[in-house]
């Protein structure tokens, strides 16, 4: 919809935000969550992604229901959302979005292409994003196949936690990557929500960027 009907995308969000203003954030969220779980659809999921706790979408393995509660924050306004839609409509012009298994998508890459992988992190996200069934070893195999074909690959994965006191153990195969870089995005997002109002100096994190080139 970002490409084909961006004004419709804005309207979907604005309609649900209007309900929030009419009946309150928590009641609105629960009503839209129930609507989505009864009949999964894009417009409901769009709003839920902006309003759920920490922006983290979780689905129950038993029945596929989205289980994330409402966030402590207030969702962005329709005006702010519309501004973002306009920006990303322009930035992604000419881009083709594909919903597919990562290995199938990576198999399409040709020599000289760059594949960027951002999987669930093995140390901290085993209960998020359906990561219980995710195999990082299968991802490493797909990266190895890309490397053999002359496809460049970059992988973001766990680095350090607790302000450098813990180096996360990631089962990286030997000789698969040529470089390892540690990047510091700041303080833990989940801790920021869990420790609302408290100091986070002890929760600086870093990400590990692994490159096959």
The fraction of the chain above a pLDDT of 90, given in percent, is 66
Q: What is the pLDDT of residues 170-202, one digit of tens each?
A: 888 999 999 999 888 765 555 455 545 554 455
Q: pTM higher than 0.85 for the full model?
A: no
Q: Report the pLDDT value the prediction gives residue 164, as an integer from 0 to 100.
A: 45
pLDDT-based confidence at 51, cuts 50/70/90? very high
- Please say if the pLDDT value at position 94 is more than 60: yes
Tell me the pLDDT tens digit for each residue of 122-166: 765 555 555 557 888 999 999 999 999 999 999 998 876 544 455
Are 49 and 12 a contacting pair, CB within 8 Å?
no
> CB–CB of 176/211 below 8 Å?
no
Domains of the chain by start residue, with CATH? 6-91 (1.10.1020.10), 102-211 (no CATH)
């Amino acid at each position: 919809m970002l490409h084909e009907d961006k004004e419709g995308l804005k309207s979907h969000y604005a309609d649900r935000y209007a309900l929030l203003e009419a009946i309150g954030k928590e009641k609105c969220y629960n009503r839209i969550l129930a609507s989505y779980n009864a009949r999964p659809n894009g417009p409901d999921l769009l709003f839920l992604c902006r309003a759920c706790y920490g922006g983290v979408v979780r689905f129950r393995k038993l029945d596929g229901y989205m289980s994330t509660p409402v966030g402590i924050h207030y969702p962005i306004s329709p005006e702010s959302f519309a501004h973002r839609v306009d920006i990303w409509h322009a930035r992604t012009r000419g881009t083709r979005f594909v919903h597919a298994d990562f290995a199938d998508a990576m198999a399409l890459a040709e020599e000289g292409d760059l594949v960027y992988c951002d999987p669930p992190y093995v140390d901290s996200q085993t209960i998020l994003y359906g990561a219980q069934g995710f195999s990082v070893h299968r991802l490493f195999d797909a990266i190895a196949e890309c490397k053999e074909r002359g496809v460049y690959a970059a992988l973001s994965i766990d680095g350090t936690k607790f302000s450098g006191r813990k180096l996360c153990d990631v089962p990286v195969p030997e000789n698969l990557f040529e470089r390892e870089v540690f990047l510091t995005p700041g303080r833990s997002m989940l801790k920021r929500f869990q420790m609302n109002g408290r100091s986070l100096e002890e929760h600086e994190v870093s990400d590990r960027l692994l490159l096959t080139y």
